[in-house]
């Protein structure tokens, strides 16, 4: 017996080296256990990555990317994928991240580029519009949507007629005319008035489709038949397309379902951004997914003003679908009824009823947001709205001047309202850190020289220009 064997016999059994068979079994067990652990971890990571890819693949928006080395196809390729900009002055003062989606960088200059593109794309996919046929798009708008429609329509080969109130900023009219749009300005009126700008746009589209045709049943007759236009309705009962009913199609039960479109057939298309669900879809499939990716899913609140309601409805619905705890709120200007609808369940109080102020619908210097009726897109927003913030004209003006002074950001009136609402939300919640609030920077101040950025106009309207309003709101949290 060797000396090593003698020593081994003297050791207790638990200190003795195991036999070769035992050592082999232990080694195999360790390897099998390690392999199973590695395999289960890899499988779990694979499932997680697959789930993330499925979520992203539901949406058509492209990844956020720089365009310096990219060639896009026409003006439509420039729409969307706008950056998020940190509002340094507000973020530093409040101790939270205030981020603005820079929609003023779209080629048409506003967030409405997304909506206009989606409405026209959807109409073309359904065969309701054909480019370069002499067809005309009609819309009632306070400016930005009209400019966006005119921009895309010009690129696609359509004419445009824009009906708008006569008290909007003159810069918007000049932009529309430069884009070749036919502009009709009318007095502000309630939606129940036939002469209200949205109602007039619909009537103009109907008139465009009306034709007189010689009665061909009698070759010797010179009388004319007055043909009413054929209309198509979208699922949200909004879009209206008119044309001469030359080639009708019928369902199996004999009911008329549509009008076959000839090459070269002129049509009048009433887009109706207020009711058209394409408005909602543009933000649900575009703006919302972009914000989610840009923030890596770290969004605590989203705020936007509501004019048609499409931006807050589509973006808010998407963000809520990804994380139901995200707080969604609207910024509402003076005279609009949406604040009371969200807070108290009523559309407006007597002070805000139509016809009681100098401007029939929304008596404010802010353009583009605020309304006193429920549109289809606003109805889509109501279930996901957690709060609303009333923004006065003085607050919006103060915020716009504060941002120029401290951040060099020259923004329009609705953007200023949105950012004021962000500050109010943070103050209300008492948030101080690890929170991210996202809003929409709808357009730049270049569309508002004659009103919102005109000091003489503001003085005549008795609206103060007082940056202290913002500084006082920020001060308590900045000092805490």
pLDDT tens by residue, 387-430 = 999 999 999 999 999 999 999 999 999 999 999 999 999 999 99
User: Which tokens sit at 284?
Assistant: 């649900």
Task: Tell me if 281 sits within 8 A of 314, measured CB to CB.
Answer: yes
pLDDT of residue 428: 95
Residues 101 and 183 in one domain: no
Q: Is residue 330 part of a domain?
A: yes
pLDDT of residue 437: 98
Residues 128 and 263 in one domain: yes
Q: Is residue 19 part of a domain?
A: no
Question: What range defines the domain where residue 370 resides?
Answer: 75-109+277-479
* Strand ordering across the sheet containing 159-165: 182-186, 159-165, 136-140, 268-270, 240-242
Q: Is residue 32 part of a domain?
A: no
**Four-CA torsion 108, 111, 116, 118, nearest 10 degrees:** 130
C-alpha 101/C-alpha 316 separation (Å) is: 14
Each residue's pLDDT expressed in tens, for the chain with a length of 480 residues: 555 555 555 556 555 566 677 777 777 877 877 777 777 777 777 777 776 666 555 544 444 454 555 788 899 999 999 999 999 999 999 999 999 999 999 999 999 999 999 999 999 998 888 999 889 999 999 889 999 999 999 999 999 999 999 888 899 999 999 999 999 998 888 877 888 888 888 888 888 876 544 444 555 555 544 455 555 554 444 556 666 444 434 344 433 444 444 556 788 899 989 999 999 999 999 999 999 999 999 999 999 999 999 999 999 999 999 999 999 999 999 989 999 999 999 886 555 555 454 444 456 899 889 988 899 999 999 999 999 999 999 999 999 999 999 999 999 999 999 999 999 999 999 998 899 999 999 999 999 999 999 999 999 999 999 999 999 999 864 444
Q: Is residue 406 part of a domain?
A: yes
C-alpha 445/C-alpha 443 separation (Å) is: 7
Q: Is residue 34 part of a domain?
A: no
pLDDT of residue 373: 87
pLDDT of residue 26: 75
**Four-CA torsion 156, 158, 163, 169, nearest 10 degrees:** 40
Strand partners, 305: 331
Task: Tell me if 375 sits within 8 A of 115, measured CB to CB.
Answer: no
Locus of tokens 């009126």: 189
**Domain end residue (candidates: 238, 270, 302):** 270
Residues 6+ apart with CB under 8 A from 24: none
**Domain end residue (candidates: 207, 236, 270):** 270
Residues 304 and 446 in one domain: yes
Please provide residue 219's backbone torsions phi and psi, each rounded to the nearest 5 degrees: -55, -25
253-280: burial string, b at 16+ Cβ within 10 Å, e else: eeeeebbebeeebbbbbbbbbbbbbbbb
Classified as helix, coil or strand, 328 is strand
Task: Return the H-helix or E-strand segment holding 415.
Answer: helix 413-429
In this structure, what CATH number is given to the domain that contains residue 104? 3.40.50.1100
Please classify residue 125 by burial: count the beta carbons closer than 10 Å to its beta carbon, then call 0-12 exposed, 13-18 middle and 19+ buried. exposed
pLDDT of residue 296: 95
pLDDT tens by residue, 15-51 = 556 667 777 777 787 787 777 777 777 777 777 777 6
Residues 303 and 246 in one domain: no
Give the rounded distance of the alpha carbon of 115 from its chain centre.
7
Please classify residue 36 by burial: count the beta carbons closer than 10 Å to its beta carbon, then call 0-12 exposed, 13-18 middle and 19+ buried. exposed
Residues 104 and 127 in one domain: no
pLDDT of residue 236: 45
Q: Is residue 37 part of a domain?
A: no
Q: Is residue 58 part of a domain?
A: no
Nearest to 175 by CA among 150, 152, 197: 150
The number of domains in the chain is: 2
- A 10 A CB-CB count for 132 gives 10
Residues 317 and 439 in one domain: yes
C-alpha 286/C-alpha 288 separation (Å) is: 6
C-alpha 274/C-alpha 346 separation (Å) is: 20
C-alpha 173/C-alpha 197 separation (Å) is: 14
Residues 256 and 166 in one domain: yes
Residues 90 and 159 in one domain: no
Residues 294 and 262 in one domain: no
Residues 192 and 105 in one domain: no
pLDDT of residue 189: 83
Residues 330 and 352 in one domain: yes
C-alpha 231/C-alpha 225 separation (Å) is: 18
pLDDT of residue 138: 94
Q: Is residue 33 part of a domain?
A: no
Give the rounded distance of the alpha carbon of 426 from its chain centre.
22
pLDDT of residue 231: 54
Nearest to 192 by CA among 327, 355, 44: 355
Query: Distance between terminal CA atoms of the chain?
Result: 83
Residues 285 and 433 in one domain: yes
**Domain end residue (candidates: 225, 253, 270):** 270
- A 10 A CB-CB count for 185 gives 13
Please provide residue 384's backbone torsions phi and psi, each rounded to the nearest 5 degrees: -110, 0
Task: Tell me if 367 sits within 8 A of 416, measured CB to CB.
Answer: no
């Amino acid at each position: 017996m060797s000396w090593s064997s003698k020593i081994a016999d003297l050791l207790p059994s638990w200190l003795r080296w195991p036999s070769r068979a035992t050592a082999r079994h232990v080694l195999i067990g360790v390897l099998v256990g390690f392999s199973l652990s590695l395999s289960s971890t890899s499988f779990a990571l694979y499932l997680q990555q697959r789930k993330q890819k499925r979520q992203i693949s539901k949406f058509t928006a492209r990844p956020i990317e720089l365009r310096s080395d990219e060639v896009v196809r026409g003006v439509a390729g420039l729409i969307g994928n706008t950056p998020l900009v940190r509002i340094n002055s507000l973020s530093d003062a409040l101790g939270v991240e205030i981020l603005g989606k820079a929609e003023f960088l779209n080629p048409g200059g506003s967030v409405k580029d997304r909506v206009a593109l989606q409405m026209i794309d959807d109409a073309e996919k359904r065969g309701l519009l054909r480019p370069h046929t002499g067809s005309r798009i009609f819309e009632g708008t306070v400016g930005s949507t009209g400019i966006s429609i005119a921009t895309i329509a010009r690129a696609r080969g359509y004419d445009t007629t824009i009906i708008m109130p006569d008290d909007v900023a003159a810069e918007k009219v000049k932009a529309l005319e430069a884009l070749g749009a036919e502009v009709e300005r009318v007095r502000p009126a309630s939606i129940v008035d036939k002469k209200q700008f949205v109602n007039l746009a619909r009537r103009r589209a109907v008139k465009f489709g009306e034709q007189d045709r010689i009665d061909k049943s009698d070759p010797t007759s010179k009388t004319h038949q007055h043909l009413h236009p054929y209309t198509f309705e979208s699922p949200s009962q909004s879009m209206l397309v008119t044309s001469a009913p030359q080639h009708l199609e019928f369902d199996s039960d004999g009911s008329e379902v549509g009008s076959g479109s000839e090459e070269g057939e002129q049509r009048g298309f009433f887009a109706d951004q207020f009711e058209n669900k394409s408005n909602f879809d543009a933000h649900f499939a575009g703006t919302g997914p972009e914000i989610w990716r840009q923030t890596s899913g770290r969004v605590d609140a989203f705020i936007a003003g509501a004019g048609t309601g499409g931006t807050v409805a589509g973006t808010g619905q998407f963000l809520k679908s990804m994380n139901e705890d995200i707080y969604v709120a609207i910024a509402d200007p003076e005279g609009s009824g949406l604040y009371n609808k969200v807070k108290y369940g009523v559309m407006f109080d007597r002070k805000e009823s139509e016809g009681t102020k100098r401007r029939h619908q929304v008596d404010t210097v802010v353009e583009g947001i605020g309304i006193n009726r429920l549109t289809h897109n606003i109805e889509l927003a109501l279930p996901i709205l957690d709060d609303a913030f009333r923004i006065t004209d003085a607050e919006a003006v103060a915020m716009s001047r504060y941002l120029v002074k401290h951040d060099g950001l020259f923004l329009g009136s609705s953007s200023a309202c949105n950012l004021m609402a962000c500050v109010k939300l943070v103050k209300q919640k008492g948030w101080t850190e690890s929170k991210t609030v996202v809003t929409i920077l709808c357009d730049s101040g270049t569309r508002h020289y004659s009103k919102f950025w005109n000091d003489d106009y503001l003085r005549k309207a008795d609206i103060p220009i007082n940056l202290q309003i913002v500084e006082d709101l920020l001060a308590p949290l900045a000092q805490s």
